[in-house]
């Protein structure tokens, strides 16, 4: 009986690691310094634009910080390693009125406009995404409210899905310009966002997470952390010895 219990407990331990072990990047920006994000934790300016800012004026929850994006600002974060197959990007975003377009680019290999997943939000509340090189409206958001975006990229099929607040708004859109002038995207290597024009924009991003798989639980409250799960399981094992 003890042997079976130990096997079961170690099985739970293994499943616990698998359940939480697929996240390879997670950032809530709470420990960043206010001001320029460029120069902090490998964030840098993108496409010859100015840096976005770290701000505590608008954040998710009662405390913390977020990235403030305004006109003529754009920033980039690159990632080490090979993250191919199926990968996900999860983030929370909010925007206010304004003619500026909040651009999102996710891709790999060289930094380029020809990303894998390319989409944007606009001041008229519309969300647009590119299917290959063809853009179309795919959804709507509410100004002044946080929305959860989850993008699932398949680097074998060269397609991506897009979820907003757990509702799927894109199914199998093609990577932008894959193999043509847009270059190639063999794996998830970078993300950049912002607006490279002077039209007014005020937007925010917080709680970015990336990982292997589809990330179905990303952006949702986790009842038990990986460390707590490990401690609890090991405690139960010791009680049985």
Query: What digits encode the pLDDT tens for the residues 186-240?
Result: 999 999 999 999 999 999 999 999 999 999 999 998 754 444 544 444 444 444 4
pLDDT at residue 9 tops 50: no
Among residues of the chain, what percentage have pLDDT more than 90? Answer: 79
Between the alpha carbon of residue 13 and those of residues 4, 24, 230, the distances in Å are 14, 19, 6
**pLDDT at res. 223:** 57
pLDDT at residue 141 tops 90: yes
**pLDDT at res. 2:** 44
Contact at 8 Å (CB) between 140 and 125? yes
**pLDDT at res. 55:** 97
**pLDDT at res. 14:** 40
**pLDDT at res. 236:** 42
Average pLDDT over residues 8-12: 43
Average pLDDT over residues 68-89: 98
**pLDDT at res. 12:** 42
Domain boundary assignment for the chain: 24-218
pLDDT at residue 130 tops 60: yes
Is the Cα dihedral 199, 32, 80, 187 positive or negative? negative
Query: What digits encode the pLDDT tens for the residues 154-182?
Result: 999 999 999 999 999 999 999 998 888 78
Beta strands 159-164 and 53-55 are: unpaired
pLDDT at residue 151 tops 60: yes
CATH classification code of 24-218: 2.60.120.200
């Amino acid at each position: 009986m003890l042997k079976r219990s130990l096997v079961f407990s170690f099985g739970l331990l293994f499943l616990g690691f698998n359940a939480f072990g697929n996240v390879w990047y997670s950032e809530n920006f709470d420990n960043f310094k206010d001001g320029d994000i460029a120069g902090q934790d490998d964030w840098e300016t993108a496409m010859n634009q100015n840096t976005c800012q770290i701000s505590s004026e608008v954040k998710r929850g009662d405390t913390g910080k977020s990235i403030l994006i305004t006109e003529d600002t754009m920033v980039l974060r690159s990632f080490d390693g090979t993250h191919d197959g199926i990968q996900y990007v999860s983030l929370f975003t909010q925007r206010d009125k304004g003619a500026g377009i909040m651009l999102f680019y996710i891709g790999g290999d060289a930094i380029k406009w020809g990303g894998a997943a390319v989409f944007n939000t606009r001041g008229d509340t519309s969300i647009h995404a590119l299917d290959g090189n063809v853009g179309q409206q795919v959804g709507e958001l509410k100004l002044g409210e946080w929305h959860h975006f989850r993008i699932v990229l398949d680097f074998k099929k060269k397609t991506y899905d897009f979820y907003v607040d757990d509702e799927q708004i894109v199914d199998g859109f093609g990577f932008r310009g894959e193999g043509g002038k847009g270059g190639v995207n063999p794996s998830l290597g970078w993300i950049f966002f912002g607006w490279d024009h002077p039209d007014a924009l005020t937007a925010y991003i917080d709680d970015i997470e990336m990982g292997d798989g589809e990330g179905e639980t990303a952006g949702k409250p986790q009842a038990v952390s990986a460390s707590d799960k490990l401690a609890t399981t090991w405690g139960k094992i010791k009680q049985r010895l």
